[in-house]
Amino acid sequence: MSNKLSVILLPFKSGNRLIAERSKLVDILKVISVSIEMVIIEDGSLFGSFQISEDMEKKYNNLSAHELSRNYTSHYALFAVFSLAIFL
């Protein structure tokens, strides 16, 4: 049986930190042999997070980026992820 994990990122005001955080997570989870999917939900950051997320989505097949129409708060963003994540 393979271990699978859905990682949810809510990158409010994160910008370029997304790239570094993805790398850290992948490095850690490789050590313990866990397959991951990363779901990024952007809900209104003005720091370029969604553009960075879209660029990452094109580069990594286990990452998906989604943008909400406005900032609904993290609670509602998490509920949106539950309908998008594959491993959940």
Name the residue with higher pLDDT: 2 or 32: 32
Q: Classify 63 as helix, strand or coil.
A: strand
49 neighbors 65 (Cβ within 8 angstroms): no
Please state the domain extents for the chain: 3-82
The token pair that represents 77 in the structure block? 């963003």
Confidence of residue 9 (pLDDT cuts 50, 70, 90): confident
**For residue 88, what pLDDT is reported?**
46
Q: Classify 37 as helix, strand or coil.
A: strand
Q: Is 54's pLDDT higher than 50?
A: yes
Give pTM, 2 decimals: 0.76
